[in-house]
Structure 1
């Protein structure tokens, strides 16, 4: 029995390592291409100008984020029906092929198509990865830490991506257009090759077969569980919208404060580091998973205050505190909401998490677009105070959420004091 337990634990560790690496590669691919897009667009336009370059760069960035709106939920349904492993492998393989094609564009139209496909395939990975953990890990403490590790890996990929892309472009930018493919191979090899390795690792580390079905009939039939599920999905969309608006709004705000691109890049890097620290603390052995539901409302409140405080900053130094507040609350909320949504899923884990990805993508797209419209159409204060008010409302709406989540297996207890999930 002891040997069997150790064998199962080793298999679980290998599977988690494969999932963590997969999440890192997907986020790395998204971040790597961002610094390169303006230069790629410039070389593909017949008569490039600043307005067209900016417009196509924004649309191409949005194309990756919008694609999961149509694909995340179907991927989740397929994962629930056919198993996590085949969907993970298909998503990673498709991501590898489309990313390689993206770095060697034949035309602007071709680049748009590849960006859409790249985002569509990426949407298959995270929901299936989180669902696999929820399916196979019975201990709630280990499950929470696994969710945290996958989230941290994704954040690390987002942090490392722009740096790698910027370094690669130091070579790409000095090449004539017909030699661009030689330099683009650097990006293609790093990310697409990494995705292929991740797919192979998943194929070896994750068992075959459909995901195990957990008995949740008693949970799914309760009105409280359904209400909590809907509220969590809405909060996930609000969070994504707030973060998307913050990123774009901060970029626009930096221009009026005469903050250089280098300082702005360092500020975003600091935000990612703060997110990593927040995620590492919340999903560590120091915090019990069932207590994280009490952190949701305070985190939304802190994020709302941080957005409002951006208006008080007079320079890059003054932005350190408000941006840290937004980053820490965002880093805490993203994996926490995912963790609780996985618990009260009523259509199967991956389908529910795929729906969350869809809602998140919609929120991010609306937030990013809304930031530009608010900043352009109204006073700068409206661009930050309006979303701050929405986040404050989300904080108030979250106050009753911990009691609703008491019906979930993560916190429901039998008379002996043990978790039902155990």
Structure 2
């Protein structure tokens, strides 16, 4: 495979990741308003609206968690490309039905459907990238993957906020389906997803495995190294804090800060922009200044403190500044965790990535549910909980450092014996 062909394949995979996360990002600033509108239409108690916002956010990763290994196994059997295509088709359908929803039940059904099919795109795309890159290139390519994901979170809220606030005045009904200005952002991303689907169908070649990445169904007896367990727990903590922040900030902005949809979208855009730009920077140059463990520890410290401070400082630009600081911390942690998991084992890379994706999904499930539950006591509680959890996770980094030292000591002892 020549360099240009390899770059074209990488571009198509990154584009697939981007469009899926674009669909995720579009809903972030709109969800509180969209849920409230549908709940009031269905005569739901207004006190339960925040609960439904959390549940609608959580149900998506819950079904991703259930199906991620299934899609991974199918990609081992039938190839990465067909499974990515199926995921993109499901993604387009989900966006269309989200835009046409006229009740919370229909919105739940769309989110469940999307969770099932989108769970094939992200881990299988990462496996495709891993198939065609060497271990030396793995950190950089995973950082670019993280950048594509973050870019979706940058542009998604902006597009969602802008298009949902359009001055278009129209409404069309088709039985139980309804199309109006609130449908516009979801139809826009569905069209983009359809374009990406056609590009993948035509130009993406099946991957030939340079590194054999195999998705394995978790067995009852799996030998986890201490390093791997620590990395999985860190992945859970990071996703827990991110999704709790994303869910609660949209409600916090709407109810406490009195932000418009566009102002909430700017907050998400800043977060995604900083993470997208800095992840490749930290992946490429971070180790020249700080070790992997130091980057993770400092990233968690910065993220934790900024989350705790957020509900106490309510000026618009102060809030945006804290979001930027939070994103810098996240950008330090994410690529190092991805790289660390992918390098744990040559033989079980696919299984390890699959398990990390499952832990990410667990964090994404619990974050919104716990966050919206804690809102009942005040907005301070969810942000303090997420920040304290991130700070507590620094202890895992110290443990990880000790385990790496022990592994190096054993390796040196074995080499000395072999001599």
Instruction: Normalising by structure 2, report the TM-score.
Output: 0.80
Q: What is the match of residue 128 of structure 2? A: 132
The answer as to whether partners of 1:80 and 1:349 remain within 8 angstroms in 2 is no
The answer as to whether partners of 2:58 and 2:369 remain within 8 angstroms in 1 is no
1:211-260 CA distances to partner (integer Å, 9 max, x unpaired)? 75279xxxxxxx99721111111111111111223334445555786453
The answer as to whether partners of 1:238 and 1:391 remain within 8 angstroms in 2 is yes
Number of residue pairs matched?
396
1:197-216 mapped onto 2 (5 Å cutoff): 197-203=195-201, 204-207=203-206, 212-213=211-212
1:18-62 CA distances to partner (integer Å, 9 max, x unpaired)? 111001100111222445554477368344774565554443333
1:231-380 mapped onto 2 (5 Å cutoff): 231-251=230-250, 254=253, 258-261=257-260, 262-284=262-284, 287=287, 291-310=291-310, 312-345=312-345, 348-377=348-377
Q: Which stretch has the larger CA shift, 185-194 or 14-23?
A: 185-194
| Residue 159 (1) aligns with residue 154 (2) | yes
For the structure 1 residues 293 and 137, does the alpha-carbon distance in structure 2 shift closer, same or farther, using more than 3 Å as the test?
Answer: farther
- Give the CA deviation at 1:111: 3.1
Q: What is the match of residue 142 of structure 2? A: 147
The answer as to whether partners of 1:93 and 1:199 remain within 8 angstroms in 2 is yes
The answer as to whether partners of 2:54 and 2:369 remain within 8 angstroms in 1 is no
Q: What is the match of residue 218 of structure 2? A: none
- CA distance in structure 1 between the partners assigned to 2:290 and 2:83 by the alignment: 30
- Give the CA deviation at 1:350: 3.7
| Residue 8 (1) aligns with residue 15 (2) | no
Q: 2:82 aligns with which of 78, 82, 86?
A: 86
Other structure's SS at 1:178 match: strand
The answer as to whether partners of 1:64 and 1:118 remain within 8 angstroms in 2 is yes
- CA distance in structure 1 between the partners assigned to 2:60 and 2:167 by the alignment: 22
Q: What is the match of residue 219 of structure 1? A: none
The answer as to whether partners of 2:67 and 2:119 remain within 8 angstroms in 1 is yes
- Superposition CA RMSD, Å: 3.6
Other structure's SS at 2:170 match: coil
Q: What is the match of residue 117 of structure 2? A: 121
1:50-129 mapped onto 2 (5 Å cutoff): 50-51=46-47, 55-105=51-101, 108-129=104-125
- Give the CA deviation at 1:357: 2.2
For the structure 1 residues 126 and 309, does the alpha-carbon distance in structure 2 shift closer, same or farther, using more than 3 Å as the test?
Answer: same
Q: 1:24 aligns with which of 18, 21, 27?
A: 18
Q: What is the match of residue 386 of structure 2? A: 387
The answer as to whether partners of 1:225 and 1:407 remain within 8 angstroms in 2 is no
- Give the CA deviation at 1:398: 0.6
The answer as to whether partners of 2:65 and 2:358 remain within 8 angstroms in 1 is yes
For the structure 1 residues 172 and 49, does the alpha-carbon distance in structure 2 shift closer, same or farther, using more than 3 Å as the test?
Answer: farther
Q: 2:163 aligns with which of 161, 168, 171?
A: 168
Q: Which stretch has the larger CA shift, 387-396 or 347-356?
A: 347-356
The answer as to whether partners of 1:374 and 1:383 remain within 8 angstroms in 2 is yes
For the structure 1 residues 102 and 263, does the alpha-carbon distance in structure 2 shift closer, same or farther, using more than 3 Å as the test?
Answer: closer
The answer as to whether partners of 2:132 and 2:209 remain within 8 angstroms in 1 is no
1:56-92 CA distances to partner (integer Å, 9 max, x unpaired)? 4443333223221211222223333433222212211
The answer as to whether partners of 1:304 and 1:388 remain within 8 angstroms in 2 is yes
The answer as to whether partners of 1:80 and 1:211 remain within 8 angstroms in 2 is no
Other structure's SS at 1:181 match: strand
- CA distance in structure 1 between the partners assigned to 2:204 and 2:36 by the alignment: 39
The answer as to whether partners of 1:237 and 1:360 remain within 8 angstroms in 2 is yes
For the structure 1 residues 133 and 267, does the alpha-carbon distance in structure 2 shift closer, same or farther, using more than 3 Å as the test?
Answer: same
Structure 1's unaligned 5+ residue stretches are: 1-6, 216-222, 414-422
Other structure's SS at 2:315 match: coil
1:71-124 CA distances to partner (integer Å, 9 max, x unpaired)? 122222333343322221221122222322332236543332221111221111
